[in-house]
């Protein structure tokens, strides 16, 4: 990538205080959607992880006042102009007492006890509660198309006791949703994102593909070319959350994209179009990959073949979400910004992706495929 392009994006990242994470906002979208409500007072529980800084930057860009509540241990240098309240969601919410906000955004992981405590404390202190759940809340993704009324996990479906010390991730998300709705009836907004991708992502679940394709050579491409994919750029997700807060929408929404599922071939060829590498894709069928221990969504991130109960995993009907303003960046923009973020990381981090397979393992599987 050219130095001028990287310098341009680094300069853009300085806006909003996000440069410390190597987060590159890409093209701003706020000007495309004028704020049509008064400025809000927004409380964000967390705000310093992956999605939080994007929420903060966009909310500030649109003229809102933001308060962060967290333990004050992560990325404390970000957004020095933003009010910070220090506490612990396990047992110390005192900093939230006696205050008033219009909206609270809960970015917590799968901790229904955290949601219960914060929601009950804030019941009369905020107007609406926005909770970040997950597509993993669904117990059945075989429906085509998938919609927000699809079945979700229960104690019975998971075989887990209500007295268990820990709950499976999907069930814990559902229980967290239920707490938000219980305490804020008619005032809760639940977001169920799929795989969140883009600059700032530490999991490398999407980053694997731009980085691998950027290296060039023969690339193992999983499954069928037509296997559908729906993911979401972190900025499309977080910016939509802020606009939903402005508009006052409540209910439950899925957050993946694009609205028309993208075939796996289109994803990989679209990523390749951003690079200048000489790349050749070799498509290997799902059964062969399974026989060689290559699992969907693990060694082959993003990809999930549409069978065996996952027929609707990447076939969500996003009509309600699009009607309420969900938009999608181009794959080219997401890919370019993801690569810029990746190459801004320390060399040792660039060398050790947390998802995907190694070049050596990929070569082994490809050799076995060619010699079958």
Domains of the chain: 3-370 (3.40.50.720)
Residue with tokens 């890409």: 26
Residue with tokens 């809102």: 64
Percent of residues, the chain, with pLDDT higher than 70: 91
Lowest mean pLDDT among 9-13, 115-119, 184-188, 220-224: 9-13
* 245 pLDDT above the threshold of 50: yes
Q: Average model confidence (pLDDT) for the chain?
A: 92
Lowest mean pLDDT among 35-49, 184-198, 298-312: 35-49
**Region of 203 on the Ramachandran plot (φ > 0 left; ψ -120 to 50 alpha; else beta):** alpha
Q: Is the pLDDT higher at 281 or at 13?
A: 281
Tokens of 3: 């130095």
Q: Over the Cα atoms of the chain, what is R_g? A: 21
Nearest to 59 by CA among 326, 244, 325, 322: 244
Nearest to 45 by CA among 6, 92, 3, 2: 92
63-90 average pLDDT score:
93
Q: Residue 76 — pLDDT band, cuts 50, 70, 90?
A: confident
Residues 47 and 55: beta-carbon distance below 8 Å: yes
CA distance 99 to 136: 33
């Amino acid at each position: 990538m050219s130095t001028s392009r990287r310098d341009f994006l680094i300069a853009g990242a300085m806006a909003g205080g996000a440069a410390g994470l190597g987060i590159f906002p890409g093209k701003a979208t706020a000007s495309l959607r004028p704020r049509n409500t008064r400025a809000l007072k927004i409380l964000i529980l967390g705000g310093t992880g992956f999605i939080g800084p994007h929420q903060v930057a966009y909310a500030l860009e649109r003229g809102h006042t933001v308060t962060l509540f967290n333990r004050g241990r992560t990325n404390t240098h970000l957004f020095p102009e933003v009010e910070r309240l220090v506490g612990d969601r396990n047992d110390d919410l005192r900093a939230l007492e006696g205050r008033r906000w219009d909206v609270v955004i809960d970015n917590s992981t799968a901790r229904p006890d955290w949601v219960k405590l914060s929601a009950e404390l804030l019941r009369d202190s905020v107007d609406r509660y926005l909770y970040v759940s997950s597509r993993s809340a669904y117990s059945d993704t075989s429906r085509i198309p998938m919609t927000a009324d699809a079945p979700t996990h229960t104690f019975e479906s998971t075989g887990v006791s209500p007295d268990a010390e820990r709950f499976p991730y999907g069930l814990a998300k559902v229980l967290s949703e239920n707490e938000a709705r219980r305490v804020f009836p008619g005032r809760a907004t639940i977001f169920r994102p799929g795989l969140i991708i883009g600059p700032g992502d530490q999991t490398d679940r999407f980053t694997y593909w731009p980085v691998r394709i950027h290296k060039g050579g023969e690339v193992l491409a999983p499954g069928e070319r037509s296997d559908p994919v729906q993911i979401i750029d972190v900025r499309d997700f977080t910016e939509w959350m802020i606009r939903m807060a402005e508009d006052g929408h409540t209910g439950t929404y899925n957050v993946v994209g694009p609205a028309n599922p993208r075939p796996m071939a289109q994803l990989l060829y679209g990523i390749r179009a951003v690079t200048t590498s000489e790349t050749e894709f070799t498509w290997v069928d799902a059964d062969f990959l399974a026989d060689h221990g290559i699992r969907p969504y693990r060694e082959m991130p993003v990809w999930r073949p549409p069978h065996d109960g996952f027929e609707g995993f990447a076939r969500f009907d996003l009509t309600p979400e699009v009607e309420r303003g969900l938009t999608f960046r181009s794959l080219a923009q997401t890919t370019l910004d993801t690569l810029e973020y990746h190459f801004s990381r320390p060399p040792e981090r660039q060398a050790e992706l947390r998802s995907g397979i190694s070049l050596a393992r990929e070569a082994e599987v490809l050799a076995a495929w060619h010699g079958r």
